[in-house]
Amino acid sequence: MWILFIVLGFIADRITKIWATYTLLGKKDIEIISGYFTLSYLENQGAAFGIFEGNFILLYVVAGLFTVVMLVYLILKKQKSFLMQFSFGLVLAGAIGNIYDRILQGYVVDFIQWHYLDKYYFPTFNIADTCVSIGTVFLVIYFLKEEKNGKNKVPVHNK
């Protein structure tokens, strides 16, 4: 099931980035909610939300290793939990989507921009970043749920 989430997330990311490139590159921003939500083309050479900009080697190595470790974990553990598969699938979809852009273009296309009037701008992002963020939130929920059910507790050995 996790493969489906990866594929759907990756396709959604690719389609929206292609759309953003053809619709927004070199053109006026599209204001969706005046003063709050805009679609604006940006070539991001950093990681999610623009952090580590210019550190290409670090980004490639960390993102690549992270992706491989998650894939190996999913394959070896054969997780049956829908929440775990959904979480990992979204995180991997986002990671793969942005790695794909970095390798082919040297940058990631970002275009979603939330802001508060002209006072505060949240870093511009894309669907891949959204997948990673949502997947991470659900992953935390999964582990908290498992902890509550006693499935992640480390056994204590009394002497």
Cα–Cα dist 50/102, whole Å: 13
Q: Active-site positions?
A: 110, 129
* Phi/psi at 115 (5° precision): -155, 165
Cβ burial of 144 (10 Å; 0-12, 13-18, 19+) is exposed
Q: Quote the tokens at residue 120.
A: 């505060």
- Which own/partner contact pairs does 146-149 have at CB distance under 8 Å and 24+ positions apart? none
Burial of 54 (0-12, 13-18, 19+ CB in 10 A): exposed
